[in-house]
């Protein structure tokens, strides 16, 4: 009896500890394996640099690397922000007026199937060489997942809540603001999580096709000077940016919608 009572809290704290550290252990193992491979097969840094080569490359000019990282982060975040505002507005409009939905939905589907990457050269023609075409690329790539997820959320109101609203003679607007919108939020966050991952991809693609500033430009530069460790350093920073932005959205969701995880299980 005493054994069972004592064992419980220990097991619980034991299971919480790995939940935080296991991902880090996984990442460390992967880096160790990578290192092992470069040493074991004596691979030259030009083909596959070892982790220390990448760190050295970053430390050669950390200020420069961080500045370029910030440019990419800024483009991603600004584009993501604009896409979120526009995407939510458009989804609400589409959900509100059936006729608009009917009229524009096929067009949206068609536009969405265009690979946005193909637009990169055109954006240069239209918007020049500054950060603008990069931000627009991010907006284009983030917009559709947000619209689609929000629309799905707005049409997922459970029957019993609609019936409750009708029995209370709630107006369309009251139902929309007090029930449908709130109910859609967990789905909206699904769209936001897809979009934030795509945002960094969009920024990089635009920078590579039209180098100037940002980590994409650094990667292009590293290619022309055969500096593979520099490319790897840029890619590592990119991965870090993506992970941080993604978990920032996850954190925001947990903060704003503590009920969502409970009802979706």
Give the residues lining the site for other proteins (CB under 8 A).
158, 160-161, 163-170, 174, 178-179, 182, 257-260, 262-263
The helices-and-strands tally (H runs, E runs) of the chain is 12, 0
**Closest to 133 in 3D by CA, of 196, 216, 191:** 216
Find how far residue 117's CA is from the centre of its chain.
17
Q: Name the residue nearer to other proteins (CB basis): 133 or 186.
A: 186
Q: Which is nearer to other proteins, 179 or 250 (CB)?
A: 179
Kindly state the smallest distance separating residue 175's Cβ from other proteins, in Å.
Answer: 9
Of residues 148, 258, 254, the one with CA closest to residue 195: 148
**Smaller CB distance to other proteins: residue 25 or 256?**
256
Q: How far is the CB of 248 from other proteins (least distance, A)?
A: 22
Nearest to 241 by CA among 94, 120, 71: 71
Q: Which is nearer to other proteins, 9 or 258 (CB)?
A: 258
Smallest distance from other proteins to CB 166, Å = 6
Q: Which two tokens stand for residue 242?
A: 């993506």
Minimum distance from residue 258 beta carbon to other proteins (Å): 7
Cα 158 to Cα 2, 154, 179, 208: the distances in Å are 47, 10, 10, 45
CB closer to other proteins, 104 vs 162: 162
**Cα–Cα dist 161/184, whole Å:** 13
Structural contact between residues 83 and 139, judged by C-beta atoms closer than 8 angstroms? yes
Of the pair 47, 173, the CB lying nearest other proteins is at 173
- 42: helix, coil or strand? coil
Tell the smallest beta-carbon distance from residue 225 to other proteins (Å).
54
Q: Which is nearer to other proteins, 151 or 175 (CB)?
A: 175
Q: Is the dihedral of CA 135, 256, 171, 148 positive or negative?
A: positive
8 Å CB contact between 69 and 89: no
CB of 91 to other proteins, least distance (A): 19
Other CB atoms within 10 A of residue 174 CB: 13
Report which secondary-structure segment, H or E, holds 192.
helix 181-209
Give the shortest CB-254-to-other proteins separation in angstroms. Answer: 13
How far lies 164's CA from each of 151, 153, 157, 187, in Å?
22, 19, 11, 22
């Amino acid at each position: 009896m005493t054994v069972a009572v004592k064992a419980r809290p220990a097991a619980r704290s034991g299971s919480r500890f790995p939940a935080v550290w296991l991902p880090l252990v996984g990442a460390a193992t992967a880096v160790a394996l990578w290192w092992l491979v470069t040493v074991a097969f004596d691979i030259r840094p030009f083909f596959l640099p070892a982790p220390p080569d990448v760190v050295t490359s970053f430390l050669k000019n950390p200020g420069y690397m961080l500045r370029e990282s910030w440019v990419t982060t800024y483009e991603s975040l600004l584009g993501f922000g604009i896409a979120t505002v526009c995407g939510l507005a458009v989804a609400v409009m589409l959900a509100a007026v059936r006729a608009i939905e009917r009229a524009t939905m096929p067009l949206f589907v068609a536009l969405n199937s265009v690979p946005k990457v193909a637009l990169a050269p055109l954006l240069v023609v239209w918007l020049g060489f500054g950060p603008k075409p990069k931000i627009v690329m991010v907006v284009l790539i983030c917009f559709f997942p947000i619209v689609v997820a929000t629309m799905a959320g707005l049409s997922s109101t459970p029957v019993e809540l609609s019936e409750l609203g009708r029995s209370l003679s709630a107006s369309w607007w009251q139902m929309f603001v007090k029930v449908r919108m709130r109910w859609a939020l967990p789905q909206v966050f699904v769209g936001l999580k897809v979009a934030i991952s795509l945002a960094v991809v969009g920024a990089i693609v635009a920078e590579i096709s039209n180098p100037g500033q940002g980590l994409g430009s650094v990667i292009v530069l590293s290619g022309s000077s055969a500096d593979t460790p520099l490319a790897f350093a840029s890619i590592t920073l990119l991965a870090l940016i993506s992970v941080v932005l993604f978990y920032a959205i996850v954190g925001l969701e947990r903060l704003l919608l503590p009920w969502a995880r409970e009802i979706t299980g």
